Chains A and B, each alone.
Chain A
Amino acid sequence: MSATPLDYLFSSAGRRADVTLPLTWFMLIVSVVVCLVVAGLLLGSLRGAKGGGAAETAAEPVRRDHAGGLRWITIGLAISSVPLLISLIWTMAALAQVAGPPRRPEMTIDVTAHQWWWEADYHGTEPADSFVTANEIHIPVGVPVEIRLRGGDVIHSFWVPQLAGKTDTIPGQQNIAWLEARRPGIFRGQCAEYCGAEHAKMGFEVVAQPMAEFQRWRQDQLQPAPPPATQAQRQGYALTMARCGLCHAIRGTSATARGGPDLTHLMSRRLIAAAMLPNNPGALGGWIQDPQGVKPGALMPAQHLSGEQLTDVIAYLETLQ
């Protein structure tokens, strides 16, 4: 990750962002030049101007209007119409390139935005080939991937600046975005439409991998959770089913709720809490015990576990590789 993970002015790594970036730069440069020219003209117009108040104003004689004014307007408009026209044509050309993928996407991921996390459904040709994950979306490099955006609760917006611009997720309609990463890497995503208390920390990551690596990840994700092995894991398992299972699903167990992120391969993810915290036992424990302190307004309730119980739960969660 770079020092500015959501920046779209200095880095792009996907086909859509690649097309947009030079257009943005062109318009930015035109804009800066226009501002500098106007600032220059303003300063120039004040040459020989005198400062003062009402007395100085009233003392200055009034001059007649002359044709020079109109010439300013016509010449000014003629000059400004050139960059306007170029921008207009470039905009339409770029729009044609980024609006849809160059060829039929080989792969579709259903992404549903929730207050305040992201659900990603990977569909195979049959049910056994399908799985659900959250807040970390893996895609293969070099091929267009279709993202079907389904509105969950309120309006959100799907945005991975270094790969592509925003597409809103709107309840009651399905919007289509597409991503094509040019190189492998981890790209930061963020909800970009105001959606309530934790809109600020509604992040996610897109992991672009070479196809073989992506397929391996996919195979891993298809596996159900292993049964608990040690005593601590077994105790943790029971607690997890009783508490976490009310909202979360863990495939291969009795926890099947879909109110929160699927936890089947929780430990395979780099970050937790919608890309807010690093995924390590300390952060995980803090998040389980005090989600409201970490992220005020989040919909996850505090669990009030004893120290021992927490250790057990984490021991079990750590098996969800």
Chain B
Amino acid sequence: MRTPDIGAVTDALRTRLHAIWETEPGWRGWLSTVDHKEIGLRYIVTAFLMLIIGGIEALVIRLQLAGPDLRLLTPEQYDQFFTMHGMTMIFLYASPILSGFSNYLWPLLLGSRDMAFPRLNAFSYWVYLAAAIFLYSGFVVGAGPDDGWFNYVPYAERNYSPGPNQDIYALGMMLLGISTTVGAANFIVTAFKMRAPGMAINRLPILIWGTLTASVANLIVVPAVSLAFFLLWMDRQFGTGFFQPALGGQPLLWQHLFWLFGHPWVYAIVLPAMGMVSDGLPVFCRRPLAGYSLVALSTVATMILGFGVWVHHMFATGLPALSLSFFSGASIIITVPSAVAVFAWLATIWTGRPVITTAFLFYASMILLFVIGGVSGFMTASVPADWQLTDTYFVVAHIHYVLIGINVFPVVGATYFWFPKMSGRFLDERLGRWNFWTMFLGFNLGFLPMHLTGLLGMPRRIWTYSDGMGWDGLNLITTIGSFLFAAGVLIFFVNVAKSLRSGAPANDNPWDAPTLEWSIPSPPPPYNFAVIPTIASRHPLWENRLQESRARSTLDRGMTLDHGKETLTTTPMDAEPERIVEMPEDSYAPLLLTAGLATLFAGLALKAWPIAGTSGLLVFAALLFWLWPRRQLLERAPAHG
């Protein structure tokens, strides 16, 4: 074992670390980098691109529904559009955007130089990109998935859907599941092992709690949906009949497997975003988050309860009333941990001195949108009420308040907040106000009346409707609101493009925020921290003002770890230093493995078995290349000096 060198941050040290950690410039570096910041940014850019694509699909849908009996789309086209919209937003935007922010931010928040498994991290991104392209490959040739993102059987079986549409969806979701799974494993190990010394479990930022909780959930539930899609693919290819009643199968089995995954997934795509608000609001309220421990616990509690509510998606399927009442009760009770978060945020604003910045507007308005999405969820938790509400536009309004309110608004707020860290420049605050108000008003104009549309009985997933149902005016308003909202999102992207070139420069800690990422330069150097910081509280940069205890964090002096690409692992609970680990160099292995997997899945989709077989060998070769033992990656470095 070696005793690590302790030192101060010097220019010489920075130069040395830079040389060790820098990714090679040019296309080689671009294809092989394992830098979590680069990967995080790629996730963010790709996910925002998916948001734009899914948004355009939504606008086409809204045009088709703007008035009764319009014929802009055929039913077949409409069905593909609403399926692609849902799939894109839920799987290719909402989750990856949070993975992107977490990938970028986690090591910076935790005081580490990288994620636990950098190559796995790169692999997770490449597979996500491959899955996104794969899932869109059918749509661009007019054979996209058309059975909704929930993909109910037997409609998705071959006898009702003979084209390649559902094969692509099934295989694409399995591919995406690989990305989600390895990403989740990486987050969990990183959270427990890669923290700076002293960052005990009760000092973690809430974003870490959110993503950690979501990752544990993903690791548990993604196999359920991957299995479901695999069984469906088997049904379609080989007539296995898992979901076919004529062959002894059960259509409801699909719904159980899907929602066993689907409901926890909803929490997985909001909990990290709630964490962004919990960490960001206090900065603008100039005080620590109220009720930190309760908020952290409620994050975990939401997820635990979230495993027991999936049947509320299936209240109308004819299950016995007794079992429905259990899931109904659980679904009503799950509002309690959410209420904890809401009151904690409200308390933080009330007892603080809020400064209304654009980021604050997005975070604070999220509280209201969260509550609106929450109470409509509470209404659908009641079985008798849900038998009327389910599968109407009331639920469409609900899911959009949840996903736009608790994901998009915090994410845009988080972009205003962390953009200076990522780019060294501010987003324009003036344009930011326009951005916020257009999005906020457009969203509510579009989606608040939609609750009434649902209460007046408009079913979901209908390609058109007759006049005389009482929905004409409401639908027109929703369409207008959607376009206004889209204009708001456009202003956001304009702001990003403009500010990247000409935004006001930002220093290391422009908002005077309390957490570790603000102690390093903007944008951060490739090695993040020149010395490994030692943490004494939840708010290392506010300690002198909060005076919570006498202990102080040490940020400018610590382990230098400059003998190679090194960082430190610590114990899971108290973050005691454990060992120095050598991090892997940039590598082509993740990209190669992804290429193998992508061609394997393409072969399966095309039923080109020779291609699938050959790609299987490529996958095996890439794994060998990846896992080939290398002496320098042994964890225990020999003692020296």
Is B383 positioned at the interface, with any CB of A under 8 Å from its CB?
yes
Our pick among B75, B152, B392 for the contact of A200 (Cβ within 8 Å) is B75
Interface residues in B369-397 by Cβ distance below 8 A to A read 371-372, 375-376, 378-379, 381-392
Contact: B355 with A60, CB < 8 Å? yes
Question: Which residues 450-491 of B sit at the A interface, judged by CB distance below 8 A?
Answer: 455-466, 468-470
Whether the pair B384, A45 counts as a contact (CB closer than 8 A) is: no
Q: Interface digits, B339-355 against A, CB 8 Å rule (1 contact, 0 not)?
A: 11011101111111111
Shortest Cβ distance from B390 into A: residue: A166
| A82 adjacent to chain B (CB < 8 Å) | no
Q: Do residues B388 and A197 form an inter-chain contact, with CB atoms below 8 A?
A: no
Q: Distance in Å from the Cβ of A217 to the closest Cβ of chain B? A: 25
**Does A212 count as interface, using CB distance less than 8 angstroms?**
no
B554 contacts A by Cβ under 8 Å: no
Known: A91-B384, A196-B160. A65 touches B288 (CB 8 A): yes
Q: Which residues of chain B have C-beta atoms less than 8 A from A95's C-beta? A: 321, 324-325, 328, 383-384
Which of these, B344, B378, B456, B460, contacts A69 with CB under 8 Å? B344
In the bound assembly, the distance between CA atoms of A223 and B160 in angstroms comes to: 36
Interface string of A32-56 (1 = CB under 8 A from B): 0011001101101110011111101
Do A167 and B287 touch (CB < 8 A)?
Answer: no
Q: Which of B342, B355, B357, B420 has the largest count of A CB atoms less than 10 A from its CB? A: B355
B382 touches which one: A3, A23, A54, A76 (CB < 8 A)? A23
Give A70-107 interface residues, CB cut-off 8 Å to B: 70-73, 76-77, 80-81, 84, 87-88, 90-92, 94-96, 98-100
Q: Report if B201 contacts A (CB, 8 A).
A: no
A165 near B316: Cβ-Cβ < 8 Å = yes
Contacts A4-B469, A95-B324, A155-B155: A63 and B353 contacting too (C-beta < 8 A)?
yes
Nearest 8 CB-CB pairings of A with B? A165-B387, A172-B245, A69-B290, A6-B457, A4-B470, A72-B347, A200-B462, A175-B318
> Which B270-298 residues have C-beta < 8 A from chain A?
283-284, 286-288, 290-291, 294
| Contact of A57 with B355 in the complex, beta carbons under 8 Å | yes
In this assembly, does A257 line the interface, its C-beta being within 8 Å of a C-beta of chain B? no
A58 within 8 A of B: yes
A197-B75 in contact given A6-B457, A166-B390, A172-B251 (Cβ < 8 Å):
yes
A73 and B355 contacting across the interface, CB-CB below 8 Å: no
Count CB-based A-B contacts (< 8 Å): 317
Beyond A5-B469, A64-B547, A196-B155, is A73–B344 a contact (Cβ under 8 Å)?
Answer: yes
Q: Can you identify 19 A-B contacts, CB atoms within 8 angstroms?
A: A6-B456, A7-B470, A8-B457, A16-B384, A31-B376, A35-B371, A42-B364, A45-B350, A46-B364, A57-B283, A62-B286, A62-B512, A69-B291, A69-B348, A95-B324, A154-B154, A167-B316, A191-B459, A296-B75
Q: How far is the CB of A23 from chain B (nearest CB, A)?
A: 6
| Cβ contact within 8 Å between B346 and A42 | yes
B245 x A41 contact (CB < 8 A): no
Given contacts A165-B316, A199-B461, contact A4 B324 (CB under 8 A): no
Bound form: Cα–Cα A45–B547 in Å: 26
Is the pair B356, A54 in contact by a Cβ cutoff of 8 Å? no
Residue ID in chain B nearest A62 by CB atoms? B545
Contacts beyond the supplied A8-B457, A200-B463, A296-B76: 7 A-B pairs with Cβ under 8 Å: A5-B470, A20-B388, A35-B368, A157-B391, A165-B386, A194-B147, A194-B148
Residues of A in contact with B (beta carbons under 8 Å apart): 3-9, 16-17, 19-20, 23-24, 27-28, 30-31, 34-35, 38-39, 41-42, 44-46, 49-54, 56-58, 60-66, 68-73, 76-77, 80-81, 84, 87-88, 90-92, 94-96, 98-100, 149, 151, 153-155, 157, 159, 161, 164-168, 170-173, 175-176, 190-201, 276, 296-297
B212 at the interface (CB under 8 A from A): no
The yes or no answer to B635 lying at the interface (CB within 8 A) is no
Question: Is the pair A4, B368 in contact by a Cβ cutoff of 8 Å?
Answer: no
Contact of A35 among B155, B284, B328, B372 (CB under 8 A): B372
Report Cα–Cα, A56/B356, bound state, in Å: 9
Q: With A41-B350, A95-B325 known to touch, is A54 a contact of B357 (CB < 8 Å)?
A: yes
Distance of A162 from chain B, by nearest CB (Å): 9
Spot the interface stretch: B19-27, B163-171, B329-337, B527-535.
B329-337
Nearest Cβ on chain B to A111's Cβ, whole angstroms: 13
Say yes or no: B154 contacts A57, CB within 8 Å: no
Does B388 lie within 8 Å of A24, measured CB to CB? yes
Chain A nearest CB from B230 CB (Å) reads 21
Residue among A41, A91, A100, A297 making CB contact with B383, cutoff 8 Å: A91
Min Cβ gap A3→B in Å is 5
Q: How far is the CA of A194 from the CA of B255 in the complex (A)?
A: 14
Report if B79 contacts A (CB, 8 A): yes
Residue of B339, B367, B387, B547 ringed by the most chain A CB atoms within 10 A: B387
Q: Which B residues are in CB contact (< 8 Å) with A168?
A: 316-318
Chain A residues with Cβ below 8 Å from B547 are: 64
Which residues of A have CB within 8 Å of B384? Answer: 16, 19-20, 23, 91, 94-95, 98, 165
- Tell me the smallest distance from the CB of A22 to a CB of chain B, in Å: 10
B308 vs chain A, min Cβ distance (A): 15
Q: Which residues of the partner chain A approach B437 to less than 8 Å between Cβ atoms?
A: none
Q: Is the CB of A200 within 8 A of B465?
A: yes
CB-CB under 8 A for A56 and B355, given A20-B388, A165-B316: yes
User: What residues of A have a CB within 8 angstroms of the CB of B321 in the complex?
Assistant: 95-96, 99-100
CB <8 Å contact, B328 and A91: yes
When the two chains form their complex, are residues B511 and A54 in contact, meaning their CB atoms are under 8 A apart? yes
Residues facing A in B151-191 (CB within 8 A) are 152, 154-155, 160
Which residues of chain A are within 8 angstroms of B506 by Cβ–Cβ distance? Answer: 54
Contacting pair A76 B378 (CB below 8 A): no
